Amino acid sequence: MTEPTRSTTTTALAETPEGSAPPSEPAPSGRSRRVRMLSSISFAGVALAGILVVLYAWNLPPFSSAVETTENAMVRGQVTIIGPQLSGYIVAVPVQDFQFVKAGDLLVQLDDRIYKQRLAQAIAQLEQQQAALANNQQQRISAEATIAQRQAAIADAAAQSAKAQADLRRNQALVSDGSVSRSALDLAKANAAAAVASLAQAKAALEIARQDRETVVVNRASLQASVENAKAAVQLARIDLDNTRVTAPRDGQLGQIGTRLGAYVNSGAQLMALVPDTLWVIANMKETQMAEVRIGQPVSFTVDALNHLKLYGHVQQIAPATGSEFALLQADNATGNFVKIAQRIPVRITVDADQPAAARLRPGMSVVVSIDTREPAGHH
């Protein structure tokens, strides 16, 4: 039984060419399949990860969110630049950098000597015009008396004329029978004519007196206008004098003081800034984020300068146009090289009350804003 086996093996070796190894058994293929499977899984994982990164970057499902977020946001405030309305030398600066002030507090005092003298001069002019107006009243009273005098003169002239006419008629009746001479008749005629002339003269004098009264009445209107003009000049001089005191228009905190004692400043020069405690946030949202943004929706924002302190607010207003529409230089896309860029729409956000940490906000701080569009508009 063993010999045939050896004989068969010997025969196989004999048939193998010299220098060649005998054919080996086929290697198992399971390990290669596992390697190929792991490679396919790794590639699929990388591809899936890339797809997920793209979906996340573009905020697409399943990574889309109802919360719209932007880093293009800043704290804003009603920063008022304080400047003088007049030109002059500064004689007092009773405030310091970053000082808290109340409305009406003196910030800068200008030299007021010239303006005090102008006010005194305007007051003197007013008194002069008022005296002229009072004199006009006396002139009218005098004119009324002159009219009464002229009316009395007319009555006297009328009486004298009537007597002269009566004497003339009597002399004419008596001259026919020789009782009155021709010379007496001529004298009566002359007296009658003189009486008529005196009456006409008295009437003319009365008319002159009435015209003088009208002149006084018309002149009174001019004098009253002069008085009002003088009053206005006094008020302007008083305003200029008051403007030598530059005061705080409202409560707030000052910025850096840009002037010093003894400096000469021109009208409108920037002396300092006043920052009141009224603050808000302007978030420049992409136009692709505005589909669900409504007024009244809740907002949370973190402040970079305060170690990412989180505060809350609400959407107050939405700008009527994109920020580019308010730019001084408008973009011209008619040249053929147009590239579509997502525009920004400013959204004004109020800061909710009862947040003590909100007192640390300052205009110009950068914030990261998140608007929750799941809440209905007007929800507080």
Best-predicted range by mean pLDDT (38-52, 131-145, 172-186, 230-244): 230-244
Q: What is the set of domains in the chain, with CATH numbers?
A: 57-78+278-372 (2.40.30.170), 80-110+245-273 (2.40.50.100), 113-242 (1.10.287.620)
User: Is residue 175 over pLDDT 90?
Assistant: no
User: Is residue 4 over pLDDT 50?
Assistant: no
Quick check: 211 and 89 in contact, CB under 8 A? Answer: no
Q: Which of 46-60, 129-143, 263-277 has the lowest mean pLDDT?
A: 46-60
Q: What is the per-residue pLDDT across 342-354, written as a single tens digit (0 to 9) for each?
A: 889 999 999 999 8
Cα–Cα–Cα angle for 262, 266, 269, rounded to 5 degrees: 95
pLDDT of residue 1: 39
User: Is residue 171 over pLDDT 90?
Assistant: no
- Percent of the chain predicted with pLDDT > 70: 82
Q: Do strands 272-275 and 264-265 pair parallel, antiparallel, or not at all (unpaired)?
A: unpaired
16 band by pLDDT with thresholds 50, 70 and 90: very low
In terms of residues, how long is the chain? Answer: 380
List all residues 6 or more positions away from 296 whose beta carbon is below 8 Å from its beta carbon.
314, 315, 375, 376, 377, 378, 379, 380
pLDDT of residue 346: 94
Say if pTM beats, i.e. exceeds, 0.75. Answer: no
Which is more confidently placed, 67 or 50?
67
Question: Helix, strand, or coil here: 271?
Answer: coil
Distance CA 27, CA 20 (A): 19
List all residues 6 or more positions away from 51 whose beta carbon is below 8 Å from its beta carbon.
none
Question: Helix, strand, or coil here: 124?
Answer: helix
Distance CA 62, CA 296 (A): 27
User: Is residue 34 over pLDDT 80?
Assistant: no
Q: Average pLDDT of the chain?
A: 82
Give mean pLDDT, residues 282-307: 93
User: Is residue 14 over pLDDT 60?
Assistant: no
